[in-house]
Amino acid sequence: MSASQFDQRYDSIYQRGGEAHETARSAVRPATTSPAIRTAAVEPSSDAAAQSTDIAEVIPPDAAPQVRPEGAAAARRKINPFLVALWALGIALSVFGAWGSVAPTFIEMQATQTTTFGPPWYFVLYTLAPNVLIAGLITIAGVLVLHAVDWTRRHG
């Protein structure tokens, strides 16, 4: 391949069709300046091969490594508000479902019988309460699974 097909900013050995026997830097490479700060990726050594490659790493000026002092506390984990809402929803559904399963019975025992069938909300509550309780327990189990996946991703 001819030299005009290569990106002149990089060695030809690192480009498709480049030859390994070519020099590390071609003589036709124009001198370019970059507005970004360029720092050496490694400390310069006396090894001639390391100095001939002229490898540099571009680091944005505001991306300096953040070093924590010795006595500083670790960064606080952020709380996911969606998980908090799911916890609250699961607990509320479970409590309401458990209460709804037994409340009509207790209320009926305290009241006098005025009709043969009782208030209609007794039947609605009796019908919905077990399903609401199960939905709450499934929500809590799902939140626990989400916490387990998050913990595995961070520690695994």
The predicted model gives 107-133 an average pLDDT of 77
42 in any annotated domain = yes
The predicted model gives 68-85 an average pLDDT of 78
73 in any annotated domain = no
Residue 126 has pLDDT above 70, yes or no: yes
The predicted model gives 148-153 an average pLDDT of 92
Query: Residue 47 burial (CB < 10 Å; 0-12/13-18/19+)?
Result: exposed
**Range of the structural domain that residue 55 is part of:** 1-60
Whether residues 92 and 33 fall in one domain: no
Q: Note the pLDDT of residue 103.
A: 84
Reported as a single tens digit per residue, the pLDDT across 6-48 is: 777 887 777 777 776 545 554 555 555 555 555 545 555 555 5
Q: Tell me 144's DSSP state.
A: H
Amino acid at 109: M
Q: What is the mean pLDDT of the chain?
A: 75
Whether residues 56 and 85 fall in one domain: no
Closest CA to 83 of 142, 124, 123, 42: 142
Whether residues 89 and 132 fall in one domain: yes
Parallel/antiparallel/unpaired status of strands 56-58 and 38-40: antiparallel
> Per the structure, how many domains does the chain have?
2
- The residue that leads in pLDDT, 34 or 66, is 66
28 in any annotated domain = yes
Whether residues 53 and 90 fall in one domain: no
**pLDDT bracket for residue 132 (50, 70, 90):** very high
What whole-number distance in Å separates Cα of residue 32 and Cα of residue 15? Answer: 19
66 in any annotated domain = no
Strand ranges inside the chain, DSSP E: 38-40, 56-58
Domain boundary among 31, 60, 89: 60
Q: Note the pLDDT of residue 144.
A: 96
Q: Note the pLDDT of residue 51.
A: 52
Reported as a single tens digit per residue, the pLDDT across 90-103 is: 999 999 999 998 88
